[in-house]
Amino acid sequence: MIELQGLSKLYGRVIGVNDLCGSFPAGAYGLIGPNGSGKTTMINLLTGQLKPTTGRVRVFGRDPFRQRDVLRQIGLCPATDVLYPNVSARQWVRCLVRLHGFGAAESRRRADDALEQVGLSDAMDRPMGRYSLGMRQRAKLAQAIAHEPDLLILDEPYNGLDPVGRYEMTALLRRWHSAGRSLLFASHVLHEIESITRSFLWIHGGRLLASGTAEEIDAIVASTPQEIVLRGDGVGRLVQHLANHPQVQRIELSTTDNRLTVGVREVNQLIPQLTRWIAEDSVKVDELLSADGDLSAMFEALLRRHRGEQ
C-alpha cells in the first residue's frame, strides 16, 4: 500500500523528514510522534501535496505527486481547520465528492450519507462558520470518507472533540477498519491510536525510528539502554542487589523523596530479579516508571537504538 525509499523533504536548510524507508501493506497504522516530528510532512508527501527533495514515495504503486488519479483511493482528514465559514457542510462535502468524478446525484447521496455517519445530519445545512471546533472536525472526516477511499489518512483528528465525540469517532474508525479498509492515524497521544490499532510507525526528528506492533516496539525498547525510576519506602535497600548486577550501568538514590534511578542496558534482563528483590526485602514501591510507561522515555530509548548506542 505504501512504499518509502530514502524519502527526504527539506525546507531550505530545515529537515522535514529524513531518509524514510519502509514498505507497509494494507491495514491500520498509528503514526506516533511529538509535535514537530515530521508527521504532517510525511502525510503531505503521501498525498502528493509536497514533492520529495530526494528519494521516492509510492501509494498503491503510484507517485502521488505526478499520478494524481491515485488520490481517488485516498481520503484525507487534515489537521488544518475548515476555512469556508459561509458554506454549509453539505455544500462543501458535495463539492469535494464531485471533484473525485462522481455525478451530481451520486455526490448528493454520498455527502448526505457521510455527514449522517459523523453525526451532522441535523446541522449539515448550517454555515460551517457557526460550527464548534468539534463539529468542523466531524465535517472534515465526512469529506474524507464520502468517496469511500481505500486508504483514510487522519492528522490529529481528535482535536476539539468532547468525550462523546471522541467515543463516536473511535467507533466509526473501528468500523471502517473492520470493513477491510485501511487507515493511517497521526497523533502525538499514544492512547488515542491504541484505541484503533496496535501497529505503529514511530517518527521523531524527521526520522522513522521504528515500526511494528506494540509488542514488537516494547521488545525493542526493552533491549535498549534506558532508565527505571522507583519511588517508595525502603527503595534504598535495593542498591546492594543492583550494584552487583551486570546489566546495571548507573544507580542514583535520593533519600529526600525516596527515589531510586537505575540506568539499565537491557531492562528485560533485570525486571524478573528486581521484582524478586522487592518481595524478599519487603520494599514498598509506590511508583515504578520505565520507558514503556512514558512516551518521551520511549522516544529517547528508540533514539539511542537508532544511533547504535549500547
Q: pLDDT tier at 43 (50, 70, 90 boundaries)?
A: very high
206, 41 in Cβ contact below 8 A?
yes
CA dist 252 and 78 (Å) reads 45
* Average pLDDT of the residues of the chain: 88
For residues 138 and 165, is the Cβ–Cβ distance under 8 A? yes
Q: What is the mean pLDDT of residues 111-131?
A: 95
Does the structure show a pLDDT above 90 at 111?
Answer: yes
> Would you place residue 302 in the very low, low, confident or very high pLDDT band (cuts 50, 70, 90)?
low
Q: How many CB atoms lie within 10 A of CB 296?
A: 9
Element (H, E) at 154: strand 151-155
In this prediction, residues 100-116 reach a mean pLDDT of: 96
Give the Cβ contact number of residue 215 at 10 Å: 8
Q: How confident is residue 308, by pLDDT bands cut at 50, 70 and 90?
A: low
Full set of structural domains in the chain with CATH? 2-213 (3.40.50.300), 223-306 (3.30.70.100)
Query: Would you say 302 and 268 are in contact if contact means Cβ atoms under 8 Å apart?
Result: no
Q: What is the pLDDT of residue 309?
A: 59
For residues 232-245, average pLDDT: 90
| Whether pLDDT at 306 is above 70 | no
Tell me which amino acid residue 273 is. Q
d(CA 123, CA 191): 30
| Confidence bin at 107 (pLDDT 50/70/90) | very high
Residue 191's beta-bridge partner residues? none
Least confident segment among 65-79, 203-217, 294-308 = 294-308
pTM of the model as a whole: 0.75
Q: What is the mean pLDDT of residues 200-226?
A: 78
Determine how many CB atoms are found less than 10 A away from the CB of residue 189.
11
Element (H, E) at 272: helix 271-280
- In the chain, the percentage of residues whose pLDDT exceeds 90 is 56
**Lowest-confidence pick of 2-6, 59-63, 132-136:** 132-136
Confidence (pLDDT) at 221: 65
Q: What is the pLDDT of residue 198?
A: 84
Q: What are the backbone dihedrals phi and psi of residue 116, each rounded to the nearest 5 degrees, phi first?
A: -70, -40
Tell me the mean pLDDT in the region 233-245.
Answer: 90
The stretch 275-287 carries a mean pLDDT of 89
Q: What is the sign of the dihedral through the CA atoms of 236, 238, 244 and 250?
A: negative
Question: What are the residues whose beta carbons fall under 8 Å from the beta carbon of 171, sequence distance 6 or more?
Answer: none
- Residue 303: predicted pLDDT: 63
The helix (run of H) or strand (run of E) holding residue 15 is strand 14-24
Grid cell in block for residue 129:
462558520
* Res. 17: pLDDT tops 90: yes
| Residue bearing cell 505527486 | 65
Q: How confident is the model at residue 300 (pLDDT cuts 50, 70, 90)?
A: low
